[in-house]
Structure 1
């Protein structure tokens, strides 16, 4: 799940993803949620078909952009916090959201030659 702190941040991230395809790909990969449990062998490799059952926890990522971090209309950095919440046997949240990590997606390049990296 992705959440934005405000509509300004949502618009800035949308603009950045449209302008920088590599950033969009990075966000897509890093924000994918596990949908199915998979049986593993003792070595940790997948050992069978996915087991369709509710997750034991949910994850969400909150993204935010500060107006001072814009160059032209594109953000130089996008801050994030990731949270998890334990769920019951039906996949419904039963606890408070706990922050697990925070950091920033930072463009070490410029708008013409972007170089996005993650710092936590």
Structure 2
């Protein structure tokens, strides 16, 4: 799940993803939630067919862009906070969201030749 702190951040991230397929791919890979549970044995080998069942916890990533971090119309860095919350038997979040990690997606290149990387 992705959450934005404000509409400016949402627009800035959308603009950056539109200009850089690399950033879009980085976000897509890191923010993908598990859909299937796969049973494993003690050695880590898959022992059965995948099961669809409610998740025992949810993760969300909160993204934020500061207007000071813009170079032209694209952000130089996108700050993120990943959070987790336990779920009930039906997969609905219960209790407080707990912060897991803080970090930043930083463009080490330029707007014309972006080089996005994740730093925590």
**Aligned equivalents of 2:66 and 2:46: distance in 1?**
42
How many equivalent residue pairs? 120
* Alignment root-mean-square deviation, CA: 0.8
In structure 1, what is the equivalent of residue 19 of structure 2?
A: 19
In structure 2, what is the equivalent of residue 29 of structure 1?
A: 29
TM-score between the two structures when normalised by the length of structure 2? 0.96
Q: How many Å apart are 1:48 and its aligned residue?
A: 2.1
Structure 1 segments unaligned to the other structure (5+ residues): none
Alpha-carbon deviations, 1:9-56, whole Å to 9, x = none? 000000000000000001000000011211012221322211111000
In structure 2, what is the equivalent of residue 76 of structure 1?
A: 76
Q: Which runs of structure 2 are paired with 1:1-120 in the superposition (5 Å)?
A: 1-120=1-120
Q: How many Å apart are 1:67 and its aligned residue?
A: 0.1
SS at match of 2:53: coil
Alpha-carbon deviations, 1:59-81, whole Å to 9, x = none? 10000100000000000000000
TM-score between the two structures when normalised by the length of structure 1? 0.96
**Aligned equivalents of 2:48 and 2:74: distance in 1?**
44
Structure 2 segments unaligned to the other structure (5+ residues): none
**Aligned equivalents of 1:49 and 1:60: distance in 2?**
27
SS at match of 2:26: helix
**Aligned equivalents of 2:30 and 2:48: distance in 1?**
24
